Amino acid sequence: MKPDAVHILLITGPAGVGKSTVCWEIGKQLASAQISHAIIETDELDRVYPRPKAEELELLRPGTTDISTINLAAIWSTYRAMGHSRLVMSGVMMHLAFDLRWILAAIPDAEISVVRLQASQPILTERLSRREVGSGAEEQLQRTLNQARRMAEEDKQGLLQITTDGKAPAELADAILRTAGWYA
C-alpha cells in the first residue's frame, strides 16, 4: 500500500450475501485498532427520484454520466480534507469494470482492493427470507440468485473471494483486513 494513496476496500457480492454486515464489522475492528477510515454504501449514492438527466449531470460535473460519481466525489472530498485515506465501500457491483471506472472518476488517486463475498443458494435464500418482505420478496430472491450465478461465471483475477457460509462477521472482517494489509 502506497502511504499517500487513497485505499479503498470494495466489498461486493449479490444482495443478501452479508456486505453491509461485514462492512459494519470491518468498521468496528478498524475503530478498535484506532485506524482512521470511512464507510460508504454505494446504494445510497444514487437513491434519488426522479433520476437526473445526463444534461443536468453535465452541468454539475462535465463528463459525468452517473450521479454516484458526483456524490462519491463530494462525500470523499470532505473525508479526505479531514485526513482520511482509507475507505470501505459496499455494493453489488454487477459490472465490476464499469463500477471501478466511476469510482476512480470520483477518487482518481485510489488503490482499490476488491473483495467478492459469496454464499450458497440455500444461505442466500434463507437470509433474504428474513430481510425481504412484501410483494417484492420473490422478485428480489430471483434477482439475487441471478446476481450470484453471473458473479460465479466472471473472471476472478485480482479479486479476493470469500465464502460467507458458516462464518461469523467478525471472522470475515478480520480475514479481509489482514489479507488487504489494513492492520499495518
pLDDT band, very low/low/confident/very high, at 137 (cuts 50, 70, 90): confident
Cell 454504501 -> residue? 41
**Range of weakest confidence among 16-25, 63-72, 121-130:** 121-130
Mean pLDDT confidence for 148-170: 90
pLDDT grade for 152, boundaries at 50, 70 and 90: confident
Question: Could you give the residue ranges of the DSSP H alpha helices within 82-168?
Answer: 96-106, 121-131, 137-153
Q: Model pTM greater than 0.75?
A: yes
pLDDT at residue 1 above 70?
Answer: no
Q: What is the model's pLDDT at position 141?
A: 84
Examine the pLDDT at 145 and tell me if it is beyond 80: yes
Inform me whether the pLDDT recorded for 13 exceeds 80: yes
Domain-by-domain residue ranges, the chain?
Answer: 6-180
Could you list the beta-strand ranges (E) of 61-100: 86-90
| pLDDT digits 0-9 by tens, 54-113 | 899 999 989 888 899 999 999 999 999 999 999 999 999 988 989 999 999 999 999 999
Q: What is the pLDDT at residue 184?
A: 61
Percent of the chain with pLDDT over 90: 68
Of all residues in the chain, what percent are helix, strand and coil, respectively (each to 5)? 50, 15, 35
- The residue whose grid cell reads 485480482 is 158
Is the confidence at residue 4, as pLDDT, over 80?
no
CATH code, 6-180: 3.40.50.300
Average model confidence (pLDDT) across the chain: 91
Under the banding of pLDDT at 50, 70 and 90, the label for residue 21 is very high
Cell numbers of 60, please? 454539475
